[in-house]
Amino acid sequence: MTIQLKAKQISMRFNTRVLFHIPELSIGPNDAVYLKGANGVGKTTLLKILAGLLKPSSGVITPKQGGFFNRLCSGAGRKDVIYLHQSAYLFDGTVYQNVVYGLKHRRQNAHDKRADVIAALRLVGLETLADEHVSVLSGGEKQRVAMARAWVLKPSILLMDEPSASLDQESIERLVTMAQDLLDLGSSIVVTSHQANRLTALCRKQWWIKDCTLIESPLLQVIDKSSVNKSAIKHANINQESTYAATSAD
């Protein structure tokens, strides 16, 4: 079962500076949101507040989130909010140990946990590196380990902060596959990115942080002109066939 996250009168201040004040926002279930805004407007700060990693200056978020390790090691059946940082944060250990860590307190036997971890690593293309130490991985591979660790928890909401920045093409494709899989399961995603890409194309609405507040709007779908032309030709052919049939009948 997925959750719905709501926030009211959220504000963040640094001394006398107001970073933002957001009267209301809501995520999920099965939302896909593209969070936009100029550098320094507070996109990362907002995601961390929603994940429970930062406390806002004022405001209420429901349901309330526990600390980082409470979410990372959530008990059986609990689905929660996971924050995926732009730079992968990995523990000192193997690829497998990093991904299985989030399942540490799940009521699963070792066989089932291993099956879940291997499935996650297969999704991101790192199954054969399960027993390798993370120190030997490339930057893109480390980010894919972080993706697998997030996916294996099946979060209700996955918050992704510039996840495709500095990634190679294969890692971006794996990230898109993972995000689409979570959406298919009914989860929600929120993505920040400086430019539109394959990942933001999954989003159905957008948030703008502008003038110290949040503006929400539907995400306009880009119309493929070639598809429109093909459709027009198809309909024209159908009309011609109908006209010919009617003429023949006469």
Which CATH number is 71's domain given?
3.40.50.300
Q: Are residues 98 and 208 in the same domain?
A: yes
**Which residues are 176's β-sheet partners?**
none
Q: Are residues 67 and 173 in the same domain?
A: yes
Q: Are residues 239 and 166 in the same domain?
A: no
| pTM listed for this prediction | 0.80
Q: Which residue blocks in the chain are alpha helix, DSSP H?
A: 43-51, 68-72, 95-100, 110-123, 139-152, 169-184, 225-249
The SS3 of residue 94 is strand
Residue 43: CB partners within 8 Å, gap ≥ 6? 35, 36, 37, 161, 192, 209
List Cα–Cα distances, 35 to 14, 27, 126, 200, 225, in angstroms.
22, 12, 29, 9, 27
Q: Are residues 164 and 232 in the same domain?
A: no
Q: How would you classify residue 218: left for phi > 0, otherwise alpha for psi between -120 and 50, otherwise beta?
A: beta
Q: Are residues 143 and 197 in the same domain?
A: yes
Q: Are residues 184 and 249 in the same domain?
A: no
Q: Measured between alpha carbons, how far is 242 from 250 in angstroms, rounded to an integer?
A: 13
Residue 208: CB partners within 8 Å, gap ≥ 6? 36, 37, 214, 215, 216, 217
Q: Are residues 174 and 236 in the same domain?
A: no
Q: Measured between alpha carbons, how far is 210 from 163 in angstroms, rounded to an integer?
A: 22
**Which residues are 160's β-sheet partners?**
84, 191
Q: Are residues 132 and 232 in the same domain?
A: no
Query: Could you say which DSSP state residue 37 is in?
Result: -
Q: Are residues 120 and 233 in the same domain?
A: no
**Number of domains within the chain:** 2
Q: Are residues 157 and 202 in the same domain?
A: yes
61 close to 7: Cβ distance less than 8 angstroms: yes
Q: Are residues 233 and 128 in the same domain?
A: no
Q: Measured between alpha carbons, how far is 117 from 229 in angstroms, rounded to an integer?
A: 45
List Cα–Cα distances, 149 to 35, 45, 67, 112, 121, in angstroms.
23, 22, 17, 15, 9
Q: What is the pLDDT of residues 112-127, one digit of tens each?
A: 999 999 999 999 999 9
Q: Are strands 58-62 and 5-14 parallel, antiparallel or unpaired?
A: antiparallel
Find the domain containing 244 and state its range: 226-250
Q: Are residues 153 and 176 in the same domain?
A: yes
E strand or H helix at 207: strand 205-210
Residues of the chain with pLDDT under 70: 1-2, 64-79, 219-250
